[in-house]
Structure 1
Amino acid sequence: MKENKKRWLAACGAPSLLAMAVAAVSSPAVAEDALLEEVITIGTRVEGRSATDSSAPIDIVTGDEFVNQGDGDLNNLLRNVVPSYNVNAKPISDAASIVRPANLRGLPPDSTLVLVNGKRRHRASVIAFLGSGVSDGAQGPDISAIPAIALKQVEVLRDGAAAQYGSDAIAGVINFQLKDAAEGGTVEVKHATTAEGDGDQSMVAANFGLPLTDSGFVNFSMEYREQDSTSRSTQRDDAAQLIADGNTHVANPAQIWGQPEVDDDTKFFINSAIELNDTVELYAFGNYASRSTDGGFYFRNPENRDGVFTYKDEVDTNGDGVPDKEVVLPLIGDLDPSNGIDNCQNVSVSEAHDLDECFSFTEMFPGGFTPRFGGDLEDYSMVFGLRGELANGIGYDVSASRGQNKVDFHIYNTINATMGPNTPTSFSPGGYAQTETNFNIDLTKATEISGKALYMAGGFEWREEEFEVNMGDEASWTQGPLTEQEFLIGSNGFSGFGPEVIGTFDRDNIALYTDFELEATDNLRLGTALRWEDFSDFGSTFNYKVSGHWAINDVIALRSTYSTGFRAPTPAQSNISNVTTAFADSQLENKGTIPPTNPVAVLKGGKQLQPEESKNFTIGAIIAAGDWDITLDYFQISVSDRITQSADQELSEAEKAQLVADGISGADSLTSIRFYTNDFDTKTRGIDVVATYPLGDATDLSFAANWTDTEVTKYREETISDMRLGQLEDGLPNIRGNATISHAGEGWRGLVRLNYYGSYWEAHLDDYSLPIDAGDEWTVDIEGAYDFSDSLSLIAGAENLFNNYPDKNPWSGVAGAEYPETAPMGFNGALYYVRAQYEF
């Protein structure tokens, strides 16, 4: 209580202290026409800076660049135009299929801070337990809840910015700026399909602005989208063998690899502001989004799925009375335990079908079964603020926001094996909710020192994060009557959340920052930022940033930054419990995630999580040579004590019993557990190149490329496996790039984009014995538009025009995936689309 009181006293006094600090540095000799600089751009507190004026590399992507594509998921749209941004399909990845993890500059999704109109956006409730190594255990934001038609432009700051914006800004910052027109609008209708004739996407979107009195605006955006599933699957070898052996109940293919089905993908955004007088503006914006995702899971083989159809036992094969061989035996349940539970032990599967007392799940699923898994997502946010200028020239921006992302999971075509023949086949395992509340005060001031322009800023932030685990239906976690007979507890594939593990876990923090930019000479700009934050769970951090921009002449300018940063562990990472089914050692295994402070985790090295710490360095050049505009930037990001899931830790029977007692449904079936830990250090280096050149009055050439290399510099062999090392260092392509030619003619326009995806390495199914060395790939996108009038246009195009696919998966027979699941270009082939646009 005393510590909290001290933190609140500091928080309450912060605004007045910052105001006094800014006023004290302000000189009364400032010219009367000194401008009030509002915090409206990324990477700087100074209004009006362009990307080439910035000391840090920034990509500017216009709203049209997002809309003029075939896909409807904002993650894919961003990947197509920003080479350092990677996201893949996640066909069978547990909850990561619902909110796909994306990677900026080779780092996990929660190392990138996402802003909307310059305000922090809440993270998603989904944790990527199966994140292909790079994103394992990450909890990043869900940008797919943002409709592309709502965007005026997007700024991607490719630089560490924790000293400016706080936690998560290690890899960079993405700021989505909403449209703010007070009149006019656009309506779009789009349909897309793959060359295979599946994966149809249909979308209707609209944006329009209205005046809000004579001094304001309100701008509305909405989008409705449906996406069909795809299948790029082959028949599994084991399923094919079952069919060859005469089992006519096995599906072909037994397991589906493809993009999930997305239904009722609905998105709304509103952006508004009104001037109350000449110096004060009231603003508000927010969103609501919902969708339902349904995807595939792993096939349960009726001849070897332990805990459902079979169990393992050791037998004596040489007659010496000592068991010397492990065998797989049918698991037959005794439905009448009143006379003991051994009566069905030696009964065959066929005999069990004829006995009322004995039960085999082959009666319900003679060909095995493949669960379907997904979730219903809801996302909302609201931001209110007041900004303006005081009489002494100090600008202010006071805002409050609240956002929530909630997912309710569903799984069907599966069972709770302990319930025997009385099990339902559809479950609601529960869900997660992430809620964040922010309060910010930002102050700015433009002044002079010795005739040199000085821009100052200071601010205060209070933030609270809440992570809630909601209970599943009882059948998804209960221990049924067959529990003591080696049947698995909980909904198979994704166990439900029982009463012992549900709850709300929260944390709050306060922050103070200062930011200065000095025009040292006509050609040299220097900047510095300092930030202190204090968290209720692990304590405080202090970070800084220095930057410079030197215009050598009219042709070339140099820029550089150096900063320290941090990423705080989320309340979810510190407290989550989960059981999921994953592939390991060529078979399905139940793997658990438990809190690092759980006694079982502590025995294996778990402890209270601490923030990651980073050091970020960039140096680059801005070149204007003739008609060429070129930026070339080198970056290096060193991250220590990275938070991740540990390697799999084997469990003793006593430890399993302890986890069951702790209320973790299905813990008795676990082969291993993981927990979050500050575990290893990495160094990520890279080069970004962006160039534009006008080929004529109406034709432009643009080029963007990224090279990124990550090295794990320190780790513990006990918790980081060779497989995970390979995923971290080689799981994403080192080189990505694209070149675009666009032309705008009289009444028509067109573009052609050439995309390059470098080679990468995949541990297929997260199994080190199934390596894939996938080669590089080229794809071509094309789009053409014809204007029937000033208002109506018809657009047609193709992504991956020539229907190129990644290299074939050499292990496709293991689980049926025809292509590598982590292919950075996707594995659906060509996407052809047509859309109509009406502007008014």
Structure 2
Amino acid sequence: MKRTLGKKIAGLFILLLVAGTAFAQQNKLSGTVSDDNDAALPGATVQVVGTSVGTITDADGHYSLRLNKGNYTLKVSYIGYKELQKKINVDGSSDVLQNFVLYAGEELDEVVVVGSRAHPRSRLESLAPIDVIDRKIFKEAAQVNLNQLLNYVVPSFNSNTQVISDGTDHIDPASLRGLGPDQVLVLINGKRRHTTSLININGTFGKGAVGTDLNAIPVASIKRIEIMRDGASAQYGSDAIAGVINIILEDNTAEGRVDFTSGGYLSKNSEGTLDGETVQANANLGFKLGKQGGFINLSGSYDFRDPTNRQKEFTGTIFKDYNFPDRYANPTGADVTDVELARLGKTRADYVSRIGQSKNRGGALFFNSSLPLTEHAELYSFGGLNFRKGESAAFRRQPAQLNQNSEYLYPDGFLPLINTDNIDQSLSAGIRGKKGEWDIDFSNTYGRNSIDFVTSNTLNASLLDASPTRFEDGGYRFTQNTTNLDIHRRFDLLSGLDLSFGGEHRYENYQIIAGDENSYRDYGRAVKVGTDANGDDILVSDINGDIQTLQSADGKNYAGGAQAFPGFRPENAINVSRSSVAAYVDAEVNLTPKLLAAGAVRFENYSDFGSTLNWKLALRYKLNDKWALRAAASTGFRAPSLHQRYFSATSSLFTDGVIISSGTFRNDSRLANLLGIPDLKEEKSYNYSAGFTGRFGDFNLTVDGYFIRIDNRVIYTGQFKGSNAADASDQDKEIYNILNQAGASTARFFANAINTETKGVDVVLSYNKKVGPGLFRADLSGSLVKTSIVGGVHSSELLAGKESSYLDDASRIYIESAVPRVKGSLSLSYSPYKWNFLLRNVYFGEVDAATNTVADQETYGAKVVTDAVVGYNFTRSFKLSVGANNLFDIYPDKATGSNVGAGYFVYSRTGQQFGFNGRYVFGRISLTL
């Protein structure tokens, strides 16, 4: 009965929305927007000042609005052109034709939609600091993927390609304002984007977090990106503690575009003249649908990336005397590496791992579309598919590691390879329009990510010489479905009131898929079931057995599971879901023509941990036409991900120079109970910000300071160990036995363990002016941020004496100082005649090595990295660009001590600034069809 009634109500709602309303006493205002050369400007913004009414021009530069009788001021803007305002009179008797001509010159104060549910505002008029990165910046950049481009263009954003970190080698963790990858919300066309199915568990920034894979979105599909640097949980929900990244998809139908970029690392440390070669092909094409402004825009990309290696030689033990029983009759485990290398005619450089970027092949297809139904209602849809096949290397297994090798299969050791099939899918569809004075938007957004792992060029040592060399390890799945209803209306109260309200339902599902048995099992384990007539033990093979039956020549137990990446065991496999419902109210009111106030309240309830209520207040005061003050205060939250609640696995981990097997255990496990680790709950935040915006001459300036307090922050703990010593406690003995059954030597968990405070200042100064025959633009920006852990660790009595494992030094450094606390950028571009020139210098501040070895907690100094790009338009349709990222081949400071390991890491893998691949050179062909 209820379901039938619900269907009727939904059907009636959609029918009313599609039907539209009569537009009595309204006239059509239309015209074109062009430049001073009479060329149409598609995508120009036409806004009725002081109202929510506005539009953008189509492919021919045409716009159309419907207005009631009255006097209006129209504001017309386009990136790189002077803004134009004009007064218009609509007398109610006839339609009005009004054309606009814009002139190149001062920087446009770009119109943005993120951060406000009212009508779009200019960037300088927004209540929160917002960065805008338009398509032109993508075309001129020296980077080929979205994470790296933002890392060089936006100082408050950090992301780097990781190494020797399993799946994280293929999905770069990214952060905003120095916070975690899961504390920034990503939207596409204003709709929540799903996260990846991967959780970062190895030695990288963002350890223990689940982020959004920005590189799954092809740059060809992006019209612009809006980055809101302010807490927004009360506006958009979970994850928006550091801010919001809103990606606006391309809606162009005027032209087709094809870009082809090829390059590689031409560096002093390259293997050969050039390594890490990349090829990227992008295409974008749009079509009109009907005659009422409908469109569909299609984008595609293909990516090819070869790996790099920056390890020069392996300094550890390659051969022991056990490797040559015919030469060493009574082996003792002595290191005979140098002698045997000389005899074999080899060097330590022949036994290196692959320390650099991973190999990648993939492609993507995206679309963005809209179909008007009536004058004031439209259907819209967008989404895409991305597939990437990756290959990263683990640590090389040397011949001396007898219990991890088979001399028959790999007489010279082997380099394990971790292969991933990463599939990302998304689809959004909705209907929006007007019902009377109300703007209504009803939508559904679906997203899914799956990652499957295969370990190749490896073995399961416990299978001895019969081991296969390729293993199906299982994988991850994450699905998210979000349904939104958003309603907005503007009231003529005071100097204008915008009221918005709505609701959201979100469903999430997380799965871990078990691997094949030979990928995880230790075939040397057995249990005793009795004795035979001779008194000998009768042993039966058992995956959880406490007796080891297979030992290598040096007396060590043969390792089970695929070396480097053991498969997921049946007890790791899960299929869990949750749902949440939310309701919000959001209001913006112009109390006076100079004072704008905004407030939002959001209630959200999760099926797995309960409810949360959050609020936000913001003010902007215009001192005059050029200067304004703004401030905001809010509370926020982040729901712990399903990954953090339910992930468990055993993995190889490089810790302070040693490779060990470490297990991750759920909070409802016996181990968690032994240590008193509680169930996860949401993180709560308190955000405060204040700043000012201004124009002086041809300059635009924004300065914003902020303070973010996060309570009950979720961390990925350090490593807990047990003991089977005679004098060990019962607790430590049980921990040891559980770890032994899991094939692990240490245990880690997710826990609400700490509180943090983040303080910072962001400054952006822009200059844009026509100089001589071209347009000159300069952007100087900087970010200063400091995150500190405050108060004690949220411990329990059962953790007494183990606090340093609960929050170890490495985890603290990852949170506080593993990414630059100071970052700045100066970009200069000039476009005279058919040329364009770009010179960008980025200052990456110092970072610290995340290690538990106090003597090796070194600091790596600040560096400046220079990009240079030169482009020439041979014709209107053909352009050639050449350039370099890291033009002067700058590298970070070299690592020392345990940060180097056995020669693995010439440069730190834990304290990341800009990577360590060196100079990247490229050429790019751009075609306009």
TM range (shorter): 0.7 to 0.9
| Contact in 2 for aligned 1:239/1:254 (Cα 8 Å) | no
| Contact in 2 for aligned 1:14/1:512 (Cα 8 Å) | no
Query: How many pairs were matched up?
Result: 765
Is structure 2 residue 346 aligned with structure 1 residue 269? no
Query: Structure 1 stretches (4+) deviating beyond 6 angstroms?
Result: 11-16, 31-34, 37-40, 654-662
1:128-277 aligned within 5 A: 128-132=200-204, 134-195=205-266, 196=270, 197-215=274-292, 216-239=294-317, 243-247=337-341, 248=344, 252-263=350-361, 265-277=362-374
Aligned to 2:894: 808
Is structure 2 residue 655 aligned with structure 1 residue 611? no
Q: How far apart in 2 are the matches of 1:660 and 1:12?
A: 56
- The alpha carbon displacement at 1:481 in A equals 4.4
Letter in 1 for 2:404: V
Is structure 2 residue 166 aligned with structure 1 residue 94? yes
Q: How far apart in 1 are the matches of 2:193 and 2:737?
A: 38
Match of 1:362 among 402, 407, 414: 407
Match of 2:517 among 470, 474, 482: 474
Q: How far apart in 2 are the matches of 1:80 and 1:402?
A: 31
- The alpha carbon displacement at 1:251 in A equals 6.3
Q: How far apart in 2 are the matches of 1:131 and 1:238?
A: 21
Q: How far apart in 2 are the matches of 1:435 and 1:537?
A: 17
Q: How far apart in 2 are the matches of 1:284 and 1:722?
A: 47
Is structure 2 residue 742 aligned with structure 1 residue 647? no
Question: Mean alpha-carbon deviation: is it higher for 813-822 or for 393-402?
Answer: 813-822
| Contact in 1 for aligned 2:572/2:649 (Cα 8 Å) | no
| Contact in 1 for aligned 2:717/2:808 (Cα 8 Å) | no
Letter in 1 for 2:352: A
1:801-828, Cα deviation, whole Å (9 max, x unpaired) = 1111111222446242221224311111
Q: How far apart in 2 are the matches of 1:656 and 1:236?
A: 36
Aligned to 2:382: 285
Is structure 2 residue 119 aligned with structure 1 residue 72? no
Q: How far apart in 2 are the matches of 1:185 and 1:714?
A: 56
With over 3 angstroms needed to count, the CA separation of the structure-2 counterparts of 1:656 and 1:412, relative to structure 1, is farther
- The alpha carbon displacement at 1:416 in A equals 1.7
1:302-328, Cα deviation, whole Å (9 max, x unpaired) = 4357x536xxxxxxxxxxxxxxxxxxx
With over 3 angstroms needed to count, the CA separation of the structure-2 counterparts of 1:529 and 1:13, relative to structure 1, is farther
Letter in 2 for 1:458: F
- The alpha carbon displacement at 1:586 in A equals 2.9
Q: How far apart in 2 are the matches of 1:71 and 1:748?
A: 20
- The alpha carbon displacement at 1:281 in A equals 0.6
Q: How far apart in 2 are the matches of 1:715 and 1:422?
A: 52
| Contact in 2 for aligned 1:585/1:769 (Cα 8 Å) | no
1:53-74, Cα deviation, whole Å (9 max, x unpaired) = 1111000110121232233221
Match of 1:633 among 701, 704, 708: 704
Task: Give the fraction of aligned pairs with identical amino acids, expressed as a percent.
Answer: 32
Aligned to 1:823: 912
| Contact in 2 for aligned 1:15/1:459 (Cα 8 Å) | no
1:749-770, Cα deviation, whole Å (9 max, x unpaired) = 1111111111111136x75553
Aligned to 1:59: 131
Aligned to 1:387: 432
Aligned to 2:843: 756
Letter in 2 for 1:685: K
1:640-679 aligned within 5 A: 640-652=711-723, 667-679=741-753
Aligned to 2:478: 434
- The alpha carbon displacement at 1:602 in A equals 1.6
Q: How far apart in 2 are the matches of 1:741 and 1:701?
A: 5
| Contact in 1 for aligned 2:722/2:736 (Cα 8 Å) | no
1:467-514, Cα deviation, whole Å (9 max, x unpaired) = 111121221023424662333332122221122321211110000000
List runs of 5+ in structure 2 lacking aligned partners: 15-25, 28-47, 56-111, 319-334, 527-547, 550-556, 725-729, 794-802
- The alpha carbon displacement at 1:647 in A equals 1.8
Aligned to 1:688: 762
Match of 1:505 among 558, 576, 587: 576
With over 3 angstroms needed to count, the CA separation of the structure-2 counterparts of 1:586 and 1:753, relative to structure 1, is closer
Q: How far apart in 1 are the matches of 2:732 and 2:188?
A: 44
- The alpha carbon displacement at 1:78 in A equals 1.1
Of the two, which has the highest radius of gyration? 2
Q: Aligned to 1:649, what secondary structure does the other structure show?
A: coil
Q: Aligned to 2:667, what secondary structure does the other structure show?
A: coil
Letter in 2 for 1:220: L
Q: How far apart in 2 are the matches of 1:242 and 1:213?
A: 77
1:421-477, Cα deviation, whole Å (9 max, x unpaired) = 22112112100011001110000010033x331000001000011111112122102
With over 3 angstroms needed to count, the CA separation of the structure-2 counterparts of 1:245 and 1:656, relative to structure 1, is farther
Is structure 2 residue 587 aligned with structure 1 residue 516? yes
Q: How far apart in 2 are the matches of 1:680 and 1:12?
A: 46
Q: Aligned to 1:452, what secondary structure does the other structure show?
A: coil
With over 3 angstroms needed to count, the CA separation of the structure-2 counterparts of 1:659 and 1:394, relative to structure 1, is farther
Letter in 1 for 2:339: D
Aligned to 1:443: 487
1:792-803 aligned within 5 A: 792-803=878-889
Match of 1:414 among 431, 452, 458: 458
1:542-577, Cα deviation, whole Å (9 max, x unpaired) = 000000000112332111111000000111110111
Question: Mean alpha-carbon deviation: is it higher for 668-677 or for 116-125?
Answer: 668-677
Q: Aligned to 1:91, what secondary structure does the other structure show?
A: coil
1:757-789, Cα deviation, whole Å (9 max, x unpaired) = 11111136x755533321110111111111111
Q: Aligned to 1:303, what secondary structure does the other structure show?
A: coil
- The alpha carbon displacement at 1:584 in A equals 2.5
Q: How far apart in 1 are the matches of 2:890 and 2:238?
A: 39
User: Could you state the TM-score of these two structures normalised by the residue count of structure 1?
Assistant: 0.87
Letter in 2 for 1:587: V
- The alpha carbon displacement at 1:669 in A equals 3.1
Letter in 2 for 1:758: G
| Contact in 2 for aligned 1:112/1:172 (Cα 8 Å) | yes
Q: Aligned to 1:489, what secondary structure does the other structure show?
A: coil
Letter in 1 for 2:905: A
Q: Aligned to 1:139, what secondary structure does the other structure show?
A: coil
Is structure 2 residue 854 aligned with structure 1 residue 782? no
- The alpha carbon displacement at 1:270 in A equals 0.1
Aligned to 1:118: 190
Aligned to 1:308: 404
Letter in 1 for 2:425: Y
User: Could you state the TM-score of these two structures normalised by the residue count of structure 2?
Assistant: 0.79
| Contact in 2 for aligned 1:524/1:551 (Cα 8 Å) | yes
- The alpha carbon displacement at 1:100 in A equals 1.4
Q: How far apart in 2 are the matches of 1:602 and 1:106?
A: 32
1:246-301, Cα deviation, whole Å (9 max, x unpaired) = 054876242121111112x2011100001100111100000100011111212334
Question: Mean alpha-carbon deviation: is it higher for 810-819 or for 786-795?
Answer: 810-819
Q: How far apart in 2 are the matches of 1:148 and 1:53?
A: 28
Higher relative contact order (CA 8 A, sep 6+): 1
| Contact in 2 for aligned 1:763/1:769 (Cα 8 Å) | no
Aligned to 1:334: none
Q: How far apart in 2 are the matches of 1:535 and 1:242?
A: 60
| Contact in 1 for aligned 2:717/2:811 (Cα 8 Å) | no
With over 3 angstroms needed to count, the CA separation of the structure-2 counterparts of 1:585 and 1:208, relative to structure 1, is closer
